[in-house]
Amino acid sequence: MRYVFSNLGQGLRRNLSMHIAVVLTLFVSLTLVGLGLLLNQQADKAAQQWGSQLQITVWLCKADDDNPTCTGEVTDAQKDAIAEVVEENPEVADHHFESKEEAFEKIKELLGPEKFDGPNPAATADDMPESLWITLEDPDEYEGITSAVIGLAGVSDIRDARETLEPIYDSISALQLGALGTAVFLVLAALLLVGNTIRLAAFARRREIGIMRLVGASTIYITMPFLLEAVVTALVSVALAGGALAAFVYFGVEERLADNLGFIPWVGWPEYLNALGLVAIVGPVLTLLPTLLLTRKYLKV
């Protein structure tokens, strides 16, 4: 073991420029992978709040509705009639009603509960409209259901999720695609660099390795320094990527986006931990896997 650890330091120093190259490539690719996951979670969060692209939202009349065709609060009979129309429509995959309370909870979560507590709240549950959330079979086939529902009594307005969400989702998925696409190339580069590093290290140590094989050192003993080097580079890269992602969440999201664009629920620390977890798994796998494969090849025992 003494030999293994003294060799670890030596190996890292001897191949320093190569290790730095691996660490940097891995750091950037892991950061992009983590960013991809954050964006994915961002899309999920937005979908929870706004509905997905497959959904349209039917706002039902409330007591003092802006829409003059509303004669007052939607009645249960009107809701039953609307539900019936929706159920019969072939374009509809699923639907559910959202009560005033549910809508109120959502807006509280989005804008922060402090605005709604106390003696002078910004709004109460009663100010919220009831709504009907319709999930479509196919997001492009929406005209039928929209025209069927719009004229019904008790319907105030229809929001086609695509109009508001499409640009948001499009930019999120474009960013995600960009991050993951770049990550794929960088991961490939990282794998090749890891492979090269091992080849160089095996070459630099070929005398020692030859003697170790000759005197009967076990395979695991011979490969251990290589595996440890792989673990160290992976850990450094994961730490750097974790730091970069944390900086992104803190400075990018919390300090900037969340303040300026408060109407969208933004990713925060719980989502960061998910991304960090993914990065912490992917990083070591990316270095250990090629190491295990290539040491078998280069250090044939």
List residues binding other proteins (CB under 8 A). 2-3, 207-208, 210-219, 221-222, 301
Query: Residue 22 or 224: which CB sits closer to other proteins?
Result: 224
Query: Residue 149 or 212: which CB sits closer to other proteins?
Result: 212
Buried b (16+ CB within 10 A) or exposed e, 89-107: bebbeebeebebeebbbbb
Residues near 132 by beta carbon (within 8 Å), at least 6 away in sequence: 57, 58, 60, 79, 82, 83, 86, 95, 96, 97, 98
Query: Residue 16 or 301: which CB sits closer to other proteins?
Result: 301
CB of 14 to other proteins, least distance (A): 11
CB of 221 to other proteins, least distance (A): 6
Region for residue 65 given its phi and psi (left: phi exceeds 0; alpha: psi -120 to 50; beta: otherwise)? beta
CB of 201 to other proteins, least distance (A): 15
CB of 224 to other proteins, least distance (A): 10
| Residue ranges of E strands in 46-98 | 55-60, 92-98
The DSSP code for 54 is: T
Query: Residue 56 or 299: which CB sits closer to other proteins?
Result: 299
Burial of 147: CB neighbours in 10 Å, binned 0-12, 13-18, 19+: exposed
Query: Residue 18 or 209: which CB sits closer to other proteins?
Result: 209
CB of 18 to other proteins, least distance (A): 20
